[in-house]
Amino acid sequence: MKRFGDVVAVAGVDLELPAGKLISFLGPSGCGKTTLLRMIAGLERPTEGRVFLDDEDITDRPPHLRDIGMVFQTLALFPHLSVAGNIGYGMRIRGVGRGDMRTRVEELLQLVSLEGLGERRISQLSGGQRQRVATARALALEPRLFLLDEPLSALDANLREQLQVELRLLQQKLGITTIMVTHDQREAMTMSDLVVVIRLGEVEQVGAPLDVYRRPATPFVASFIGRTNILRGEASDGLVRIAGQTFDVDGAVTPGAVTVSVRPEDAHLLVGEVPERNALSGRVVFVRDLGELFECYVDCGLEEHVVVAGSPRERVHVEQGERVTVSFPREACVVVRG
């Protein structure tokens, strides 16, 4: 379990993270997620606030005295050591005996599917193999905390997806508390038990991936994770009016400005003008038929085009310029902060 305070690039973060889970720090570049991770690792000092590991205050402890294993963005493998040498480095520092070290290295090589490659030099390995070496190296001493800083960003798309699954399975198998920094929301969704969405140094939302997806707390979270339609309107007398239409929404509403998020796949397309609640009429601007899914961009008079998405089965036949009505079911209209 981990808890921490704040620093200049990261402000007012107060998080408590559960043990044994994979937690992602998700956010755009420069939002402070890496800084946060480095503070946990001890590579940066918080200007204010403390870091606790299992109720121990480790804020003043240097990195080599914290019980962590870390995989860096550049992987930071030692070029002067072989694969086995890299993995065994931590043990060597601790004075573990030759025999024990060798056994453990073999174990780890097996764990990451790199059997027999112990004597290879780093320069001889492929990107995916290097990633695995970095992972094995970090886990060699069975640390309490496993930290990953954008570990897959240097790999190409196919490899990334494969390794995402592998890493997640590995983490589950070992049951080790893991914190991963990423800017790729699909990666976070794939691997995490818990997602911490960070923007400009502040935490916007913490929750399980699907919760964060279905119930985004802010417009930023809504649009950063997946795609969404942001509808702005006014609330008064318990009713919400958006672009002149009455809406029933899911969530408590206070009088004043209201922002609602609706995922494209939850919206429905109806031909012609259909007067209903929770609906906006407009003109079709663009249709994208990608085979596996289709998207329809509709100009409803709002700031941005409304997007309706769906699988081919749901495809309603419309053409550019046609007048249609977009229906937003009540359960899909999520009120977001701001």
Give the residues lining the site for other proteins (CB under 8 A). 41-43, 62-66, 68-70, 72-74, 76-81, 89-90, 92-94, 137-138, 140-141, 147
Nearer to other proteins, 74 or 162 (CB): 74
Nearer to other proteins, 112 or 269 (CB): 112
How many CA atoms within 13 Å lie on the side-chain side of 118? 18
Residues paired with residue 234 on neighbouring β-strands, in sequence order:
241, 257
Least separation in angstroms between residue 63's CB and other proteins is 4
Separation of alpha carbons 331 and 338, rounded Å: 20
* Pairing of the two strands 245-247 and 194-199: unpaired
Nearer to other proteins, 78 or 286 (CB): 78
Nearer to other proteins, 66 or 183 (CB): 66
Least separation in angstroms between residue 69's CB and other proteins is 7
Least separation in angstroms between residue 35's CB and other proteins is 13
Residues paired with residue 247 on neighbouring β-strands, in sequence order:
240
Nearer to other proteins, 136 or 196 (CB): 136
Least separation in angstroms between residue 93's CB and other proteins is 5
Nearer to other proteins, 26 or 41 (CB): 41
Q: Is 164 helix (H, G, I), strand (E, B) or coil?
A: helix
Q: Which residue is listed with tokens 């379990």? A: 1
Q: Which helix (H) or strand (E) holds 327?
A: strand 323-327
Q: Is 326 helix (H, G, I), strand (E, B) or coil?
A: strand
Least separation in angstroms between residue 23's CB and other proteins is 18
Separation of alpha carbons 230 and 8, rounded Å: 31
Q: Is 244 helix (H, G, I), strand (E, B) or coil?
A: coil
Least separation in angstroms between residue 102's CB and other proteins is 17
Separation of alpha carbons 146 and 228, rounded Å: 33
